[in-house]
Each structure stands twice: as C-alpha cells, then as structure tokens.
Amino acid sequence: MTSSLQQQIQQFYDTSSALWEQVWGEHMHHGYYGATGRHRKDRRQAQVELIDRLLGWGEVTQASHILDVGCGIGGSTLYLAEKYQALATGITLSPVQAERATERAIAAGFTNLEKTPQASFQVADALNTPFEDNQFDLVWSMESGEHMPDKRQFLQECFQLLQPGGTFLMATWCHRPTNSLAGPLTPDEQKHLKEIYQVYCLPYVISLPEYERSLKKLAFKT
Ligand SMILES: C[S@@+](CC[C@H](N)C(=O)[O-])C[C@H]1O[C@@H](n2cnc3c(N)ncnc32)[C@H](O)[C@@H]1O
C-alpha cells in the first residue's frame, strides 16, 4: 500500500474515531433497515441486524478463530467473539482505534487468557498481515474493503489466512455494475464517487461483479 494512503487512513481514524463512537456507537458501519431500506428502527439494532444478516447469509453457525479485518474499535470483533464463544483478533491501521478496542475488550472481560471468549487487537495492514496462513475459520471484513488500494491482494491475503473450508464474509461499498444496459459510469457518477473517495480516504471502489470475478479466480466458493 502506498504509505501516503495508509497514513491518510490512519490519521482519518485516529482523529475521528472518538466522534464516530459518540455518534454511531461501537459499530462504525451502516445498518440493515429491511429489504426496502425503509424500516424504522433503532440505529444500533439496525447495525447488529446487518451483522446477523451477513452471518445468516454466510450460514455461519460456529467459529472458533476469527479475524476481523479493519476492526474499527472492535464492535464486530466483540460481538462475534461473544456470539460464537471464540478467540477473535481485530486489526486496524489506527493505533487510536486499537487502543480503544483493547480498552473495550478489557472492560467487557474479553482479555482473560484462561477463558473464552477472548479478543485482542493490533495495528496491522490487511494487505500484509503478520499472521501465518490457515489460521482462521472466519475472516470478517465489515466496511473496510473500500479502503484497500489493491482489492485482489486484499482478497488473496484473506484467502490465505483462512483454514480450508473456512468462511470469508465481507460487506463493502461498491459502485453499480457497469456490464449492464446502463453502461460505464457517467461523468456525473464518477464525479460523485471522487467526492466520496476524498471525504472517506478511499482509493476507489469496484462493482459486485468485479468482486465476484476476483473471488472466483482465487477459488473462493461464492
Ligand atoms: C469504516 S471503519 C469500519 C470498522 C469496523 N469494521 C466496524 O464495522 O465497526 C474501516 C476500518 O478499516 C480499517 N482499515 C482500512 N484500511 C486498512 C488496512 N489496509 N489494513 C487494516 N485495516 C484497514 C480502518 O483502520 C478502520 O478500522
């Protein structure tokens, strides 16, 4: 990853995470508001429902070693560790987030090495992680893929970290498919995306079919 993008992302989350936590709570991602997107519900409940919908979609009924890639302040990490009584590790580019996530894990009793569930956090780059291959039976990425400057390398890294038969679940920002009648992105759409990239420190996003192609090449079963 180019260090300037990495530094920008780190600074972005180092400086904004306390505010995000005040406004959005421990989950720094969107929520599930029903199939139409219009169900009125509590913000936190919608965020947790999004997590559960994703787990349901992936048919995850158990997990023992979980990696949360781009963990924020550990909202999903602790939720998943508790739900599956598992050992969970979260990685982020932001030292401030890793510290806050660790504080939250300690406060919630997730750091006793003699007990499960457990959760720990570290600063690490998802494109070049410090972990051995085949370590995790669930690799989770909630709204972090959009930050990755090399989507293929990101998916490759996640693939290598998974145990055979493990599950990779990702929710990420995408632009619309361009292989339909609507055709390539219009100049207006590109301009709009560029503004989003600038505000949120994103290199670029891709479409769902592009993700699907990359995942199939890596022999993921989609
Ligand atoms: C929008 S936040 C989502 C946080 C968390 N997944 C959640 O849902 O609460 C994006 C996260 O991705 C992390 N991130 C971005 N690029 C990363 C990279 N290359 N390696 C590790 N983490 C990364 C950021 O540090 C941040 O924690």
Name the residue of 7, 29, 47, 93 whose CB sits within 8 Å of the most ligand 1 atoms, as the mutation to test its pocket. Answer: 93
5 lines ligand 1 (CB under 6 A): no
- Asked whether 72 lines ligand 1 (CB < 6 A), one says yes
Among 11, 147, 158, residue to substitute to test ligand 1 (most atoms within 8 Å of Cβ): 147
Fold for the domain defined by 3-217: Rossmann fold (3.40.50)
In this prediction, residue 1 carries a pLDDT of 55
- What pLDDT, on the 0 to 100 scale, is given for residue 197? 98
Are 169 and 140 a contacting pair, CB within 8 Å? yes
Q: Report whether residue 10 contacts ligand 1, using a CB cutoff of 6 Å.
A: no
Ligand 1 near 76 CB (within 6 A): yes
pLDDT of residue 150: 97
Backbone dihedral angles phi then psi of residue 147, each to the nearest 5 degrees: -85, -15
Q: Would you state the pLDDT for residue 2?
A: 58
Task: Say how far residue 154 (Cα) sits from the centre of its chain.
Answer: 11
How many angstroms does the Cα of residue 48 sit away from the middle of ligand 1?
Answer: 17
| Residue of minimum CA distance from atom 2 in ligand 1 | 72
Cβ atoms of residues 60 and 132 within 8 Å? no
Residues forming beta bridges with residue 118, ordered by sequence position:
87
Whether the full predicted model's pTM is greater than 0.85, yes or no, is: yes
Span from the CA of 13 to the centroid of ligand 1 (angstroms) = 8
Domain ranges for the chain:
3-217
Separation of CA 182 and ligand 1 centre (Å)? 31
State the pLDDT at residue 222. 77
pLDDT digits (tens), the chain, 222 positions:
556 999 999 999 999 999 999 999 999 999 999 999 999 999 999 999 999 999 999 999 999 999 999 999 999 999 999 999 999 999 999 999 999 999 999 999 999 999 999 999 999 999 999 999 999 999 999 999 999 999 999 999 999 999 999 999 999 999 999 998 999 999 999 999 999 999 999 999 999 999 999 999 998 887
Q: What residues pair up with 120 in beta bridges, in sequence order?
A: 89
- Size of the chain in residues: 222
Q: Supply the DSSP symbol for 175.
A: B
Q: What DSSP character marks residue 128?
A: B
Ligand 1 lined by 13 (C-beta under 6 Å): yes
pLDDT in the model for residue 219 = 82
